[in-house]
Amino acid sequence: MAIKPTKLKLLSKLFLILFLILTTYVGNLVFFPQKLPNAEYRIIINKNENLSKLGLLLEEQKIIKSNYAFKVILKLLSKDKKVTAGMYILKHPISLWGIVQRITNGKPDQISITILDGLTFPQLKQYIDQLDNIKHLTADLSEKDIKNILKINSPNLEGAFYPDTYYIIPNQTDLEIYHQAYGTMQLKVESLFLHRNQFSNINSPYQLIILASLIQKETANNNDMYLVSTVFNNRLKVGMKLQDDPAVFYGLRDKIKITRHDFQIDTPYNTYLHTGLPPTPICIPSLNALISAANPLDKPNVFYFVAIGGGRTKFSATYAEHMGAVSKYLKNSSK
């Protein structure tokens, strides 16, 4: 039996109304931006993330209206396999569609950590132990434990990690960070040692790190680092004590206040009592300190230096000249 025109017209209107309702509902569900619960909201997606759990979490926190719609959209667009692990920082209202596009474009917001030169290992560990968004596997481990896990053969972890900015994904482990920074340091140092110049008097890549750490603590001036390196390399060549104050301080690091009398205390780091380099680095050296340690200048008669203020250093060839600079500096600084 044929449908009467009036009924057909009514059904058409009903279908149109249902279509408009459905379109409005889906459009609101998928394309209408949701207000964020905070000024900045972070979506953290781990490796092999369970998308159902992720969708439920976003729905519970009212970032999206429907976990089911979230999964369907990902599936329909064949993007369920393109979700990239990482952290996504949301700062403005965003729709479900926007979130799907955001987490599948392969460009998560990077988490950066910066290892600074000049830090000792305890200072570095304290920094890493306080980082957010990583898994802390070493917080309760000793330095020896970490050294053994990473299979590092040096006496301790001082100076073992290259200073740089590293980019990580959420829930990466602190051991992975240490491993990456250690590997980077080894590559840099081995290359620099291999290509050290003829005026260098270091005998191993590890000695290069030790010497660079002394240079690092002596001056922050990149140009002066080469002259400090020259002084130390010249002294190593003739068997003269390095007389490096920062190394002495490092050996006395349990003391709160250090006096000139303490320079007579015998520690392996007392470069006033022992010739040669101390047994380990005393901090993380910068790249420039490493380069200068491997490339002292052709100045075989420079054996002395003294800080004269303003980040500057006075270098001298003779002890008499050096003492004159010391006297002049002390006289000026006491005024």
> 202 and 196 in contact (C-beta within 8 Å)?
yes
Look at residue 231 in the predicted model and tell me its pLDDT.
Answer: 95
Residues 134 and 168: their CA atoms lie apart, in Å, by: 9
Residues 161 and 283: their CA atoms lie apart, in Å, by: 10
Same domain, 205 and 325: yes
Tokens of 180: 């990456």
Place 167 in a pLDDT band, splitting at 50, 70 and 90: confident
Residues 321-335, mean pLDDT to the nearest whole number: 61
Tokens of 256: 């709160």
On whether residue 153 sits in a domain, the answer given is yes
Look at residue 23 in the predicted model and tell me its pLDDT.
Answer: 74
Same domain, 84 and 125: no
Q: Which secondary structure element, helix H or strand E, spans residue 191, and what is its range?
A: helix 174-194
pLDDT in tens, 223-265: 899 999 999 999 999 999 999 999 999 999 878 888 889 999 9
Look at residue 48 in the predicted model and tell me its pLDDT.
Answer: 79
Same domain, 324 and 279: yes
Residues 228 and 315: their CA atoms lie apart, in Å, by: 8
Same domain, 48 and 67: yes
Q: State the DSSP code for 8.
A: H
On whether residue 16 sits in a domain, the answer given is no
Same domain, 154 and 222: no
Same domain, 225 and 327: yes
Query: What one-character-per-residue DSSP string does 207-238 give?
Result: HHHHHHHHHHHH-S-HHHHHHHHHHHHHHHHH
Q: Percentage of the chain surpassing pLDDT 90? A: 59
Domain CATH for 36: 3.30.1490.480
Place 171 in a pLDDT band, splitting at 50, 70 and 90: confident
Residues 227 and 222: their CA atoms lie apart, in Å, by: 10
pLDDT in tens, 78-88: 888 898 888 89
Residues 213 and 159: their CA atoms lie apart, in Å, by: 7
On whether residue 7 sits in a domain, the answer given is no
Q: What mean pLDDT value characterizes the chain? A: 88
Is residue 335 predicted with pLDDT exceeding 60?
no
Residues 271 and 273: their CA atoms lie apart, in Å, by: 5
User: What 3-state DSSP class applies to 61?
Assistant: coil
Residue 176: which domain range?
112-189
Q: Percentage of the chain surpassing pLDDT 70? A: 90
Same domain, 88 and 132: no
Same domain, 96 and 129: no
Q: Which of 189, 221, 252 corresponds to the end of one domain? A: 189
Same domain, 174 and 205: no
Which residues lie below 8 Å from residue 26, measured CB to CB, with a gap of 6+?
69
Place 334 in a pLDDT band, splitting at 50, 70 and 90: very low
Look at residue 312 in the predicted model and tell me its pLDDT.
Answer: 67
First to last CA, the chain: 115
On whether residue 23 sits in a domain, the answer given is no
Residues 102-122, mean pLDDT to the nearest whole number: 91
Same domain, 94 and 119: no
In the chain, the number of structural domains is 3
φ, ψ dihedrals at 186, nearest 5°? -60, -45
Residues 142-161, mean pLDDT to the nearest whole number: 97
Same domain, 123 and 96: no
- Tracing tokens 């040669």 back to the chain, one arrives at 276
Same domain, 133 and 219: no
Closest CA to 132 of 249, 42, 15, 55: 42
